Amino acid sequence: MLFPKQPNPLPPQDSSPFPQKPKGFKLWKVSGVVISLAGLGFIIPLLLPYESACGCADEPRSNIGASLRGQQVYFLEKNQFSDSIDALGLGIPTTTQKYQYKVAKEPNAVIHYAIPIPPEKAVSFERKQRPRANMVGAVFLIANQDNPQEMIPEAIICQGQRGDYSLPSKPILVKNKPTCPANYTQL
Protein backbone atom coordinates (compact mmCIF):
# COMPACT_ATOMS: atom_id res chain seq x y z
CA MET A 1 0.00 0.00 0.00
CA LEU A 2 1.56 3.20 -1.14
CA PHE A 3 -0.63 5.62 0.74
CA PRO A 4 -1.67 4.91 4.33
CA LYS A 5 -5.36 5.17 5.10
CA GLN A 6 -6.17 8.55 6.65
CA PRO A 7 -9.21 9.30 8.81
CA ASN A 8 -12.09 11.01 7.07
CA PRO A 9 -12.19 14.70 8.16
CA LEU A 10 -15.95 14.86 7.56
CA PRO A 11 -18.33 13.62 10.25
CA PRO A 12 -20.14 10.41 9.43
CA GLN A 13 -23.44 10.90 7.64
CA ASP A 14 -26.59 9.72 9.39
CA SER A 15 -28.33 7.15 7.33
CA SER A 16 -31.74 8.43 8.51
CA PRO A 17 -34.15 9.30 5.69
CA PHE A 18 -35.28 12.42 7.63
CA PRO A 19 -33.33 15.66 7.33
CA GLN A 20 -31.51 16.78 10.47
CA LYS A 21 -32.38 20.06 12.16
CA PRO A 22 -29.50 22.47 12.74
CA LYS A 23 -28.20 22.48 16.30
CA GLY A 24 -27.87 25.71 18.28
CA PHE A 25 -29.88 28.02 20.46
CA LYS A 26 -33.60 27.82 20.26
CA LEU A 27 -35.62 31.01 20.65
CA TRP A 28 -37.82 29.52 23.36
CA LYS A 29 -34.73 28.50 25.38
CA VAL A 30 -33.20 31.97 25.16
CA SER A 31 -36.46 33.70 26.06
CA GLY A 32 -36.90 31.35 29.04
CA VAL A 33 -33.47 32.28 30.36
CA VAL A 34 -34.16 35.99 29.88
CA ILE A 35 -37.51 35.78 31.67
CA SER A 36 -35.96 33.80 34.53
CA LEU A 37 -33.20 36.36 35.00
CA ALA A 38 -35.70 39.23 34.88
CA GLY A 39 -37.81 37.49 37.53
CA LEU A 40 -34.77 37.07 39.77
CA GLY A 41 -33.90 40.73 39.26
CA PHE A 42 -37.34 41.65 40.58
CA ILE A 43 -37.49 39.17 43.47
CA ILE A 44 -33.96 39.49 44.91
CA PRO A 45 -34.30 43.15 46.04
CA LEU A 46 -37.48 42.19 47.90
CA LEU A 47 -35.52 39.62 49.89
CA LEU A 48 -32.70 41.99 50.86
CA PRO A 49 -32.76 43.72 54.25
CA TYR A 50 -34.54 47.06 54.20
CA GLU A 51 -31.59 49.29 55.05
CA SER A 52 -29.29 47.98 52.32
CA ALA A 53 -32.06 47.95 49.75
CA CYS A 54 -33.06 51.58 50.21
CA GLY A 55 -29.97 53.15 51.74
CA CYS A 56 -32.18 54.93 54.29
CA ALA A 57 -29.61 54.83 57.09
CA ASP A 58 -26.87 56.05 54.78
CA GLU A 59 -28.51 59.36 53.85
CA PRO A 60 -28.50 61.08 57.24
CA ARG A 61 -25.17 59.55 58.29
CA SER A 62 -23.57 60.73 55.07
CA ASN A 63 -25.11 64.22 55.18
CA ILE A 64 -24.40 64.79 58.87
CA GLY A 65 -20.85 63.47 58.47
CA ALA A 66 -20.18 65.76 55.49
CA SER A 67 -21.69 68.73 57.35
CA LEU A 68 -19.51 68.13 60.39
CA ARG A 69 -16.36 67.85 58.27
CA GLY A 70 -17.46 71.04 56.49
CA GLN A 71 -17.88 72.77 59.87
CA GLN A 72 -14.39 71.73 60.94
CA VAL A 73 -12.89 73.18 57.76
CA TYR A 74 -15.07 76.30 58.06
CA PHE A 75 -13.83 76.82 61.62
CA LEU A 76 -10.17 76.36 60.67
CA GLU A 77 -10.55 78.90 57.85
CA LYS A 78 -12.78 81.51 59.55
CA ASN A 79 -12.26 80.84 63.28
CA GLN A 80 -16.01 80.41 63.80
CA PHE A 81 -18.77 77.91 63.04
CA SER A 82 -21.44 78.43 60.41
CA ASP A 83 -25.11 78.59 61.41
CA SER A 84 -26.24 77.49 57.94
CA ILE A 85 -25.85 74.30 55.95
CA ASP A 86 -25.84 76.29 52.72
CA ALA A 87 -22.92 78.47 53.91
CA LEU A 88 -20.73 75.35 54.07
CA GLY A 89 -21.00 75.06 50.28
CA LEU A 90 -21.44 71.28 50.27
CA GLY A 91 -24.68 71.09 48.28
CA ILE A 92 -26.53 69.28 51.06
CA PRO A 93 -30.27 70.05 50.94
CA THR A 94 -32.04 71.16 54.12
CA THR A 95 -34.99 68.85 53.32
CA THR A 96 -35.12 65.56 51.42
CA GLN A 97 -37.93 63.05 50.93
CA LYS A 98 -36.94 61.31 54.16
CA TYR A 99 -35.21 63.86 56.43
CA GLN A 100 -35.13 67.48 57.44
CA TYR A 101 -31.72 68.93 58.41
CA LYS A 102 -31.18 71.75 60.92
CA VAL A 103 -28.21 73.52 62.46
CA ALA A 104 -27.87 75.13 65.90
CA LYS A 105 -24.80 77.22 66.66
CA GLU A 106 -23.58 77.54 70.24
CA PRO A 107 -20.61 79.46 71.70
CA ASN A 108 -18.21 76.48 71.61
CA ALA A 109 -20.09 73.99 69.45
CA VAL A 110 -22.36 73.54 66.48
CA ILE A 111 -25.09 70.88 66.39
CA HIS A 112 -26.46 69.28 63.20
CA TYR A 113 -29.81 67.51 63.36
CA ALA A 114 -31.33 64.95 60.96
CA ILE A 115 -35.03 64.67 61.77
CA PRO A 116 -36.95 61.96 59.91
CA ILE A 117 -40.10 63.00 58.10
CA PRO A 118 -43.01 60.81 59.27
CA PRO A 119 -44.00 58.26 56.58
CA GLU A 120 -47.50 59.69 56.24
CA LYS A 121 -46.00 63.10 55.30
CA ALA A 122 -43.16 61.81 53.13
CA VAL A 123 -43.48 61.53 49.39
CA SER A 124 -42.10 58.07 48.79
CA PHE A 125 -42.62 54.98 46.68
CA GLU A 126 -40.92 52.54 49.04
CA ARG A 127 -42.52 49.15 49.46
CA LYS A 128 -42.47 49.39 53.27
CA GLN A 129 -42.68 52.43 55.46
CA ARG A 130 -40.52 51.45 58.41
CA PRO A 131 -39.80 54.04 61.08
CA ARG A 132 -36.56 55.91 60.60
CA ALA A 133 -34.11 56.94 63.29
CA ASN A 134 -33.20 60.53 64.01
CA MET A 135 -29.53 61.49 64.12
CA VAL A 136 -27.55 64.27 65.63
CA GLY A 137 -23.96 65.32 65.12
CA ALA A 138 -21.86 67.97 66.78
CA VAL A 139 -18.51 69.66 66.49
CA PHE A 140 -17.12 70.83 69.85
CA LEU A 141 -14.15 73.09 70.48
CA ILE A 142 -11.81 71.23 72.79
CA ALA A 143 -8.64 72.61 74.31
CA ASN A 144 -5.47 71.15 72.85
CA GLN A 145 -3.64 69.16 75.55
CA ASP A 146 -0.24 70.33 74.31
CA ASN A 147 -1.29 73.98 74.03
CA PRO A 148 -4.36 74.84 76.17
CA GLN A 149 -4.81 78.22 74.40
CA GLU A 150 -5.43 76.40 71.11
CA MET A 151 -8.92 75.02 70.48
CA ILE A 152 -9.37 71.93 68.28
CA PRO A 153 -12.71 71.08 66.63
CA GLU A 154 -13.79 67.49 67.43
CA ALA A 155 -16.89 65.78 65.99
CA ILE A 156 -19.34 63.08 67.04
CA ILE A 157 -22.39 61.47 65.34
CA CYS A 158 -25.17 59.80 67.31
CA GLN A 159 -28.20 57.79 66.18
CA GLY A 160 -31.49 57.79 68.09
CA GLN A 161 -34.31 55.27 68.31
CA ARG A 162 -36.46 54.33 65.32
CA GLY A 163 -39.79 56.04 65.06
CA ASP A 164 -38.73 59.17 66.93
CA TYR A 165 -39.69 62.13 64.72
CA SER A 166 -38.81 64.84 67.24
CA LEU A 167 -35.75 67.05 67.46
CA PRO A 168 -32.92 64.80 68.76
CA SER A 169 -31.23 65.48 72.07
CA LYS A 170 -27.86 67.09 71.59
CA PRO A 171 -24.48 65.55 72.44
CA ILE A 172 -22.59 66.91 75.43
CA LEU A 173 -19.00 67.15 76.65
CA VAL A 174 -18.06 64.76 79.44
CA LYS A 175 -14.53 65.26 80.76
CA ASN A 176 -13.66 67.21 77.62
CA LYS A 177 -14.84 64.37 75.35
CA PRO A 178 -17.93 64.51 73.05
CA THR A 179 -20.57 62.06 74.28
CA CYS A 180 -23.91 60.94 72.84
CA PRO A 181 -27.09 61.66 74.81
CA ALA A 182 -28.87 58.88 76.71
CA ASN A 183 -30.53 56.23 74.49
CA TYR A 184 -28.38 57.20 71.49
CA THR A 185 -25.69 55.13 69.81
CA GLN A 186 -22.40 56.65 68.67
CA LEU A 187 -21.66 55.96 65.02
- pLDDT at residue 28, as a whole number: 59
State how far the Cα of 128 lies from the Cα of 141, in Å rounded to an integer.
41
- pLDDT at residue 7, as a whole number: 66
Q: pLDDT tens-digit profile of 62-100?
A: 999 999 999 999 998 999 999 999 999 999 999 998 899
Domain 55-186 sits in CATH at 3.30.700
- pLDDT at residue 25, as a whole number: 56
- Residue, of 48 and 109, whose pLDDT is higher: 109
As a whole-number percent, the residues of the chain with pLDDT over 70 amount to 64
Look at 34-38, 43-47, 52-56, 104-108 and tell me which has the smallest mean pLDDT.
52-56
Spatial CB neighbours of 106, under 8 Å, sequence gap ≥ 6: none
pLDDT of 6 above 70: no
- Domain regions of the chain by residue span: 25-54, 55-186
- Residue, of 57 and 113, whose pLDDT is higher: 113
pLDDT of 125 above 60: no
Look at 26-35, 74-83, 157-166 and tell me which has the smallest mean pLDDT.
26-35
How would you label 49-78 residue by residue, b for 16+ Cβ within 10 Å and e otherwise? Answer: eeeeebebbebbbebbbbbbbbbbebbeee
Mean pLDDT in the chain? 79
- pLDDT at residue 52, as a whole number: 42
- pLDDT at residue 53, as a whole number: 46
Query: Phi and psi at residue 32, in whole multiples of 5°?
Result: -65, -40
